[in-house]
C-alpha cells in the first residue's frame, strides 16, 4: 500500500475554520477559514449511485473518496472545507450528527467528501 500511496497521491488542502456565534437566539454562525494545511492522499471519484449508497441522505452531483494516512485524522475531523489539487470545487466531509465519518484500515483512513448542492 505504501508504494501505491507514493505513486498516486495528490495534494489535498484542508481548511480549518473558526466559528463565531452572531445571534444566540437565531443560532446564526459565521465561519472564518484559516490558512490551508497541505496533506497527501489518494483520490477517487464516486458515481451518483455510489454516493447515494455510501453517504445516505446526501444529495450531490460530485463526490470523492480519499485515502490519507491515519496521522491526519484529527485534522480531517476539524476540517470545514477540502480542496483537491487540480479541482476548483471545495468539498465538505461527510458528517453524521456533526461527527466526521471515516473508516480506519491499518495505517490509512478512508473518508468520503462531496460538493454541497446549491438549490
Asked whether 92 and 82 are in contact (CB, 8 A), the reply is yes
Is 119 part of any domain? Answer: no
Residue 119 confidence (pLDDT): 61
| Cα 57 from Cα 55, distance rounded (Å) | 6
DSSP state of 55: S
Is 51 part of any domain? Answer: yes
What is the tally of structural domains in the chain? 1
Is 97 part of any domain? Answer: yes
- Low-confidence residues of the chain: pLDDT under 70: 118-119
- Note the pTM of the prediction, 2 decimals: 0.83
Domain enclosing residue 75, as ranges = 2-114
Is 20 part of any domain? Answer: yes
Summarize pLDDT for 76-101 with one digit per residue, the tens.
988 999 999 988 889 988 888 778 88
CATH of the domain at 42: 2.40.10
Is 16 part of any domain? Answer: yes
Amino acid at each position: 500500500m505504501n508504494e501505491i500511496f507514493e505513486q498516486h497521491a495528490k495534494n489535498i488542502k484542508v481548511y480549518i475554520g473558526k466559528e463565531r456565534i452572531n445571534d444566540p437566539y437565531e443560532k446564526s454562525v459565521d465561519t472564518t477559514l484559516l490558512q490551508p494545511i497541505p496533506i497527501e492522499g489518494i483520490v477517487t471519484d464516486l458515481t451518483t449511485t455510489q454516493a447515494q449508497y455510501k453517504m445516505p441522505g446526501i444529495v450531490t452531483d460530485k463526490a470523492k473518496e480519499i485515502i490519507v494516512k491515519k496521522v491526519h485524522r484529527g485534522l480531517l475531523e476539524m476540517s470545514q472545507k477540502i480542496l483537491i489539487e487540480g479541482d476548483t470545487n471545495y468539498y465538505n466531509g461527510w458528517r453524521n450528527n456533526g461527527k466526521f465519518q471515516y473508516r480506519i484500515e491499518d495505517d490509512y483512513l478512508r473518508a468520503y467528501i462531496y460538493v454541497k448542492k446549491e438549490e
